[in-house]
Structure 1
Amino acid sequence: MYLLKTCSTCKRIMKQVKEFGEFEIIDIKVNAPSEAEIDELAKKAGGYELIFNKQSQKYRLQGLKEKSLSELDYRKLLLEEYTFLKRPVFLIDDKMFIGNGKATVDLLTKYLMSTKK
């Protein structure tokens, strides 16, 4: 599980899923994902844009919303700044759950419930 330990949303989601067991936690502020990890996450997700956090303050402050970014741009930004990684990211079995949206968290919870049996 990639997250930011200081993020209240990540804490809330962790609390919600802890009944399903322990997760290996990678605090991206302490251990920023390596180039290989970013590439692997993007490959599993289907692209760098899909793991990119467009809600990040730096995204707005740098005026990136107004720019047309390529996959290479997203990759470069993800490697430069850990807060650009959408979080949390759960890697469970061959599944990947990215972000804190209600639909994503619901899918994650349903998946965890189905594997708990």
Structure 2
Amino acid sequence: MDKIYYLASCDTCRKIIKSLPKDHDLAFHDIKQDPITIEDLEEMYRLSGSYEALFSKKAQLYKSMDLKNKSLTEDDYKKYILEHYTFLSRPVFIINDKIYIGNTQQNMLQVMKALG
């Protein structure tokens, strides 16, 4: 089943969800209300090939924990994403066994095309 991992309190995520084609068949997963599981994250990793690609360096906790001045490993990225939802780059779409991470314009064009 195709999925979107998002944050309901995020204005950008809400705007993106409103713009989705009306006939899409996505399972919605609010990562604050229902934290991602190790299985969810490992599926994302399998599709993306990297925990760093899934990690949000825009998160306020990233700055407040001074992580930008630390040398993080893939295991560190995985640990932080599982510890706190804010570290997952959002939204994450899984459509037809392909992953789309983040809200760049280019990424969202690919998502819309995949949802066709």
What is the correspondence of 1:46-61 to structure 2 with a 5 Å cutoff?
A: 46-61=49-64
Runs of 4+ aligned residues of structure 1 deviating over 4 Å after TM superposition are none
1:6 aligns with 2:19: no
Give the count of matched residue pairs: 113
Shift of 1:18: 3.6
CA distance in 1, matches of 2:47, 2:96: 12
- How much has 1:8 moved relative to structure 2? 0.4
Letter in 2 for 1:49: E
Q: CA deviation at 1:92?
A: 1.0
CA distance in 2 between counterparts of 1:78 and 1:5 reads 17
Identity %: 40
What letter is aligned with 2:64?
A: L
1 or 2, which has the higher helix percentage? 1
Superposition deviation, residue 97 in structure 1: 0.9
Residue 98 of structure 2 corresponds to residue 95 of structure 1: yes
SS of residue paired to 2:36: coil
1:5 shift after superposition? 0.5
> Corresponding residue for 2:114?
111
SS in 2 for 1:25: strand
The corresponding residue for 1:85 is: 88
Aligned counterpart, 2:22: 19
- The aligned amino acid for 1:90 is F
SS at match of 2:75: helix
**What stretches of structure 2 of length at least 5 have no aligned partner?**
none
- Structure 1 spans left out of the alignment, 5+ residues: none
The root-mean-square deviation of aligned C-alpha atoms, in Å, is 1.1
Q: Secondary structure at the match of 1:19?
A: coil
When normalised by structure 1's length, the TM-score is 0.90
Counterpart for residue 39 of structure 1? 42
1:42-91 CA-to-partner distances (Å, cap 9, x unmatched) read: 12111100111111010111111111110011011111111101111111
Task: Check if 1:74 corresponds to 2:95.
Answer: no
Amino acid at match of 1:42: Y
TM-score normalised by the chain length of structure 2: 0.91
